[in-house]
Amino acid sequence: MWRVEPPRRRSCTLARMSAKLVLALGVALALVAPAVALASPTVNVQARFASAASYVADPRATPAVTYNRASVPVGSWASVTQSANDLGGMDVSLRVTGLRPQESYDAKVYTGRCTKGPDGAGAPFRNGPSMQSYAANEFWLDFKTDRNGRASVLTTHYWGIAKGQHANSVVITSARAHEPAACVTVPFKRLNPGW
């Protein structure tokens, strides 16, 4: 006579637990994956402009220095943000407050850090082998302040900082004086290892 044994509870329970575990992991990954995919590496510096004399005394205290107090007064403010973009490249934005109202300024990303003198930041950061100065080869952040001395600008490129390249500051030039009016030291990073 054949004897039929009831199914083992233990294996059923293990199968159910395994199924629940797989489902829980799937849900956890589904929740985490979009957050990881949407995460964008960024660098942000916010600073008030100090006088050149104050900057020399302690350059770590503020990353921003003014060389022309009439155009960029001591105590005025800047924010520089570097972020990866959907093109596989890099965005750089600049916001300022407290500058001379209704004034045009030119600003660019530079290779060197800010120094006590207006010419210490080196040369503008350029993308490729071309050493020519044009908008597609540099990060131009030109702007005009409103009646309250505020402005914001964003520049987007499909490229970024490549291996062996360095970008360390944003130099603001008064369009009226055609010489550096201020500088913000920014620790720009290589955001895409493929560059």
CA dist., res. 121 & res. 7, Å (int): 78
Radius of gyration of the chain, Cα coordinates, nearest whole angstrom? 26
Query: 169, 46 in Cβ contact below 8 A?
Result: no
CA dist., res. 113 & res. 110, Å (int): 8
Structure tokens at 93: 């934005």
CA dist., res. 119 & res. 136, Å (int): 23
CA dist., res. 66 & res. 75, Å (int): 9
| Residue 89: closest CA among 139, 47, 49 | 139
At residue 9 the predicted structure's pLDDT band, cuts being 50, 70 and 90, is: low
Q: Tell me, what's the pLDDT at 20?
A: 53
| C-alpha to C-alpha distances, 89 to 4, 41, 56, 83, 103, nearest whole angstrom | 68, 12, 35, 9, 30
Beta strands per DSSP E along the chain: 42-48, 50-51, 64-66, 77-84, 90-97, 104-110, 143-144, 151-157, 169-174, 179-185
Q: Report the chain's mean pLDDT, rounded to a whole number.
A: 83
Q: What are phi and psi of 24, to 5 degrees?
A: -60, -40
DSSP string across 93-118: EEEEESS-TT-EEEEEEESSPP-SST
- Provide the Cα torsion 100, 114, 106, 77; round to 10°: -30
- Tens-digit pLDDT profile for residues 43-60: 999 999 999 888 876 667
- Tens-digit pLDDT profile for residues 52-91: 888 876 667 789 999 999 999 999 999 999 999 988 899 9
At residue 128 the predicted structure's pLDDT band, cuts being 50, 70 and 90, is: confident
| Residue 105: closest CA among 40, 149, 155 | 149
